[in-house]
Structure 1
Amino acid sequence: MTRTTRGRLVRPAAALGLGAVAAYAVLAVAPTTATTAHAATSDHLTARAAGAGGPATRAALNPVADAWADSMNPTRNQGAGSYLKVDGVPVVVAYLRFDVRGADADSTGVLRFHVETGSSTGVEVRDVGDEPWGETTLTYHNAPPVGPVVGSSGPVEAGTWVSVDVSELVTGNGPVTFALTTGNDTGVRITSREGTEKPELIVPAPPSPSPYLVTKIGSSTYQAVSETTGHTYTGRLKTVVESAVTELDGRGGGTIRFGAGTFDLGTDYFKIVEVADVEFVGAGMDLTVIRNSSSASADTEPFNTKGAVRMTIRDLTVSAGGPTRSTSDALDFDDGVDVLVERVRVNAARGRGIVFDGKNQGWSSTGNTVRDCVVTGVASDGIELLAASRTTVTGCRISHVGGHGIQVNRSSSGADQPNKTSDRNVLTGNRIDQAGQDGVSVDGGEANQIMNNHITNSSDDTSGRDGIRITTPSGIPCQDNIVAGNIATDDQSARTQRYGLHIVASGCRATVVGPGNDFAGNLSGAIRDVGTGTLYQ
């Protein structure tokens, strides 16, 4: 592993302003003996190791000292209790010292600790210099300075184990101290060395547990078992999958496999934040079903993600039941980049089937792909690209949806990034039937390609809509979009699809209407063009 030079040391209060810079967080990395087990009080989560397979030299070291320093009680020592505490406001920092003398100088290490309370942002692990401190004498006034973040847990649930890769600090030269901090104004309690679930430093770090196989073992109990190490999570479907995902993310990515059958989240949903290179793989669209149903007045997407990078979801069905709610979708990718959704069926959604969303400040949804998917029976759009660019939707079958079949959409004027357009997307080879509104809708945007799609019988829920519709409000860019090789017709006895192609606004400039389009058989005509400078080829 490449090591980095330790940064300038600062006092604890100032250190909290640095922010987390390298997320290597994982939940419940496998203990080193088969007899070690940990249970989460909230949902009976357990973690076990197979016992065999790890190097004989691997050691799980407990701290030789731990304590916490509180800025509100700057002269008080907190070194004898059964828990440690970290907080952002007021500043509270926990310190843990391990004796790693004898470890290989090029070794790797994982710091594990048990969180007793949850946090929406989690815990940061920071470097600490060689300044001495004592477990029974540490206070905020005499606490050693803390340095840069070496790893971060990300969001954590109460009663779970967190592991952070700290390999760059494990040198084998003697004792090593870690500081635990958070920028959150809600404190986190962590079991101390005096408690039952003692912190551990595992040296060298355990091997990657990918892939995890998820199976149902009871009426509402599931397991995620590592096929390489035997490490196991047991509990609610949400908990075991999120735990396995977080662990894989911290180890550089990996695979979550679902066998054949129905995997029922109940009213839960997967909340997946800032994850890279993790794939969810089923046994096939017709064999594996991920299901939930909720009437909550909140987003309840089975796959509720933010900041996913190079995530893959394939070969399964997603069913998201419950009363209609416009923003509660089946697969939601906020700030998703280079995501692949392949051979996925969505057969129910309170809102949209699949959405890529780049509208909020700092979000960039780009480079994603949806292919060979099936979306049917959802309340709103089949697929929406919302302020999302350079995304390809190809080979999908979309039918009987309440909104648009596929919508390429700008953000609203009140969004964090107002009127951010979706540009350079490619929609090709899709079949769309009985969309409630337009078969394909483009609202603003530049250089989007709508090519070789087969669209029939749109506008069956909302009157006056079209096979392909291109529009924009005044002042919002809409130019150089391409429409070629499409069929957009209505073969119903009572037609509902108004035009095959409708360029609605004069602000849509230089639209290219290429060869191979067939817009015959629509209610009001083949093409209505109010655009500016449309190029017919």
Structure 2
Amino acid sequence: MMRTTRGRLVRPTVAVLGAVVVAVAGPVTPAAAAIPHVPPPAPPGAPPPAVVAGLVRPGPSTGAAPVTPVADAWVDSMDPATNHGTGSLKVDGLPVAVAYLRFDAQGVDPDPSALLRFHVETSSSTGVEVRAVGDEPWQETTLTYHDAPPLGAVVGSSGPVSAGTWVSVDVSALVTGDGPVTVALTTGNDTGVRITSREGTAKPELLVPAPPNPSPYLVTRIGAATYQAVSQVTGHSYRGSLKTVVESAVSQLDGRGGGTVAFGPGTFELGGEFFKLVQIDDITFAGSGMDVTLIRNHSTASADTEPFNTKGAVRMTVRDLTVSAGGAPRSTSDALDFDDGVDVLVERVRVAAARGRGIVFDGKNQGWSSTGNTVRDCVVTGTTSDGIELLASSRNTVTGCAISHVGGHGIQVNRSSENADQPNKTSDRNVVTGNVVDQAGQDGINVDGGTANQIMNNRVTNSADDAVGRDGIRITTPAGVACAENVVAGNVATDDQAVRTQRFGLHIATSRCAATVVGPGNDFTGNLLGAIRDAGTDTVYH
């Protein structure tokens, strides 16, 4: 399957005749399967699986004999006349380093599936790309940057990789059985990656046909600080820290088109670490239940330490677990952070603590969209800042959530700042419905800039218990930022505390917000100063 990758790399069309070149970049993943039972242990006397750099590799399960390279080398833009034909391969984005590998695939039956596997010796937060390359001859002992074959289209990518693990990338489109298959590995990251060459013990492999997708991986705790992720299909297993085994499993699944990382019952400790998930598609993280599976970290670092720290996730799902992100308050360090997330689903997730926000979708930077995401049936408490924030993020849905005792707004639909990469980018056409917000530190629901957002059928009580002068539902915008046709209908916003803190049930705070629709079914009685304060322009009441 030919894959394209979002990002800044050029992907020219290349005719591949007899030779194939592969390079590695961003990730992609299809929907997750249900979790089968864990396979029984091996019978007595069975040989133990081989262990290679952290990967437990059972004997062959598909009948596919791996093809190893007949030549490999890497080239360096900083040393363009030098040949690097021995030792580990190097891949780097700046200065540019590209690794080339050739496999003798003559006569291989071109099954619809083919898999490239290679062993990474160092970690990378973005991983490597697999690119097609034209059919040009090169020799292991003479290849240099000056005469290296040009790179073509990205056909697959690894996603983030951990040191000492194997990476799999689908290269089915490149294997024809007519001749050699040449592989070029690249990265856009300016932190280089070392990859084991054919001179090493963990040689790169080409598998035709590809073994089955390893989804799902089941993650369990096997020691005080040791975890394992075991494929319920192939038996492949990663062992090490929670961060290492999860990121390794994700890398394998992403290279195969997606799948599920499942967590059993219990507490899963990240310590001060976090999952770094970049450009992944169709990956599901599934716990055993909101009250059964806890993923936890704790940090006082002056850096973002979100347990789920994502960028560019597409169709990612997190469900049926609790996330606790403890530590010193930091406004941008959240429990679940989706930068440039598209069609992400978060359901039946509890956030028990966060240094910053509980759940945030962020579309403020250049090239980011953050659209079509859904948060439903979640519980958020104990966050230093907002419970849920849609930041420069449009066409999302937040529904059926219970948010209480948060330091910021319960739910915020928010523009980017005037200093952002996309300044004052608004959040538009979001639906916030059927949520319960109690004792938000600031507004229960806050809309700051945006058009046609729907705030419907929510219950908001006892807001502004940390910051005075806040409201149940507040709609506002600064000068020059659109705020029009937002809808507020069917909500209850009241204060039933002995000492009330929530000023108004609904506050349209500026004349710059035009044509707000205040629909039927709202109940704004019982607030500190009154039901509605309307400073808007041309507000429509039904």
- Equivalent position to 1:439, from 440, 444, 447: 444
Provide the C-alpha distance between the structure 2 equivalents of 1:260 and 1:460, rounded to a whole number of angstroms: 35
Q: How far is the alpha carbon of 1:9 from its aligned partner? A: 7.8
Runs of 4+ in structure 1 off by over 6 angstroms are 2-6, 18-22
What are the Cα deviations for residues 339-383 of structure 1, in whole angstroms up to 9, with x where unaligned?
111111111111111111111111111111111111111111111
Quickly say closer, same or farther: Cα 1:348–1:62, change in 2 above 3 A. Answer: same
Counting only pairs closer than 5 Å after superposition, residues 54-453 of structure 1 correspond to structure 2 as 54-56=61-63, 58-79=64-85, 81-453=86-458
Quickly say closer, same or farther: Cα 1:340–1:533, change in 2 above 3 A. Answer: same
Sequence identity of aligned pairs in percent?
73
Q: Secondary structure of the equivalent of 1:271?
A: strand
What are the Cα deviations for residues 62-101 of structure 1, in whole angstroms up to 9, with x where unaligned?
211222334444444332x221223344443322111112
Preserved contact between residue 258 and residue 281 of structure 1 (Cα < 8 Å):
yes
Quickly say closer, same or farther: Cα 1:130–1:309, change in 2 above 3 A. Answer: closer
- Name the TM-score, length of structure 1 as normaliser: 0.90
Matched, 1:474 2:479: yes
Preserved contact between residue 25 and residue 187 of structure 2 (Cα < 8 Å):
no
Q: Secondary structure of the equivalent of 1:151?
A: strand
Preserved contact between residue 25 and residue 165 of structure 1 (Cα < 8 Å):
no
Q: Which one-letter code corresponds to 2:331 in the other structure? A: S
Q: How far is the alpha carbon of 1:51 from its aligned partner? A: 2.9
Q: How far is the alpha carbon of 1:261 from its aligned partner? A: 0.8
Q: How far is the alpha carbon of 1:148 from its aligned partner? A: 3.0
Q: Which one-letter code corresponds to 2:173 in the other structure? A: E
Provide the C-alpha distance between the structure 2 equivalents of 1:20 and 1:531, rounded to a whole number of angstroms: 52
Provide the C-alpha distance between the structure 2 equivalents of 1:120 and 1:280, rounded to a whole number of angstroms: 19
Which segment is superposed worse, 134-143 or 253-262?
Answer: 134-143
**Cross-structure match for 2:7:** none
Q: Which one-letter code corresponds to 1:55 in the other structure? A: T
Aligned length: 516
Provide the C-alpha distance between the structure 2 equivalents of 1:494 and 1:263, rounded to a whole number of angstroms: 41
Gaps of 5+ in 2: 5-10, 31-46
Q: Secondary structure of the equivalent of 1:509?
A: coil
**Cross-structure match for 1:30:** none
Preserved contact between residue 9 and residue 145 of structure 1 (Cα < 8 Å):
no
Q: Secondary structure of the equivalent of 1:438?
A: coil
Q: How far is the alpha carbon of 1:20 from its aligned partner? A: 7.0
Provide the C-alpha distance between the structure 1 equivalents of 2:377 and 2:406, rounded to a whole number of angstroms: 17
What are the Cα deviations for residues 456-484 of structure 1, in whole angstroms up to 9, with x where unaligned?
11111101111111111122111111111
Preserved contact between residue 3 and residue 154 of structure 2 (Cα < 8 Å):
no
Preserved contact between residue 24 and residue 165 of structure 1 (Cα < 8 Å):
no
Root-mean-square deviation (Å): 2.6
Q: Which one-letter code corresponds to 1:376 in the other structure? A: T
Preserved contact between residue 25 and residue 247 of structure 1 (Cα < 8 Å):
no
Which segment is superposed worse, 188-197 or 510-519?
Answer: 188-197
What are the Cα deviations for residues 132-153 of structure 1, in whole angstroms up to 9, with x where unaligned?
3333333444444443333233
Q: Which one-letter code corresponds to 2:56 in the other structure? A: R
Provide the C-alpha distance between the structure 2 equivalents of 1:370 and 1:482, rounded to a whole number of angstroms: 20
Quickly say closer, same or farther: Cα 1:198–1:389, change in 2 above 3 A. Answer: same
**Cross-structure match for 1:47:** 55
Q: How far is the alpha carbon of 1:311 from its aligned partner? A: 1.1
Preserved contact between residue 161 and residue 247 of structure 2 (Cα < 8 Å):
no
Which segment is superposed worse, 182-191 or 270-279?
Answer: 182-191
Matched, 1:38 2:45: no
**Cross-structure match for 1:43:** none
What are the Cα deviations for residues 375-410 of structure 1, in whole angstroms up to 9, with x where unaligned?
111111111111111111111111111111111111
What are the Cα deviations for residues 185-226 of structure 1, in whole angstroms up to 9, with x where unaligned?
443322211122222112221110111111000000011111
Provide the C-alpha distance between the structure 1 equivalents of 2:350 and 2:466, rounded to a whole number of angstroms: 22
Q: Secondary structure of the equivalent of 2:245?
A: helix
Q: Secondary structure of the equivalent of 1:286?
A: coil
Quickly say closer, same or farther: Cα 1:490–1:384, change in 2 above 3 A. Answer: same
- Name the TM-score, length of structure 2 as normaliser: 0.90
Quickly say closer, same or farther: Cα 1:70–1:344, change in 2 above 3 A. Answer: closer
Quickly say closer, same or farther: Cα 1:148–1:396, change in 2 above 3 A. Answer: closer
Quickly say closer, same or farther: Cα 1:98–1:118, change in 2 above 3 A. Answer: same
Quickly say closer, same or farther: Cα 1:224–1:67, change in 2 above 3 A. Answer: same
Q: Which one-letter code corresponds to 1:427 in the other structure? A: V
Provide the C-alpha distance between the structure 2 equivalents of 1:196 and 1:341, rounded to a whole number of angstroms: 41
Counting only pairs closer than 5 Å after superposition, residues 497-516 of structure 1 correspond to structure 2 as 497-516=502-521
Provide the C-alpha distance between the structure 2 equivalents of 1:356 and 1:112, rounded to a whole number of angstroms: 33
Which segment is superposed worse, 437-446 or 241-250?
Answer: 241-250
Higher relative contact order (CA 8 A, sep 6+): 2
Q: How far is the alpha carbon of 1:416 from its aligned partner? A: 0.7
Q: Which one-letter code corresponds to 1:205 in the other structure? A: A
Matched, 1:494 2:502: no
Quickly say closer, same or farther: Cα 1:51–1:21, change in 2 above 3 A. Answer: closer
Preserved contact between residue 49 and residue 229 of structure 1 (Cα < 8 Å):
no
Q: Which one-letter code corresponds to 1:61 in the other structure? A: V
Provide the C-alpha distance between the structure 2 equivalents of 1:441 and 1:345, rounded to a whole number of angstroms: 21
Q: How far is the alpha carbon of 1:183 from its aligned partner? A: 3.9
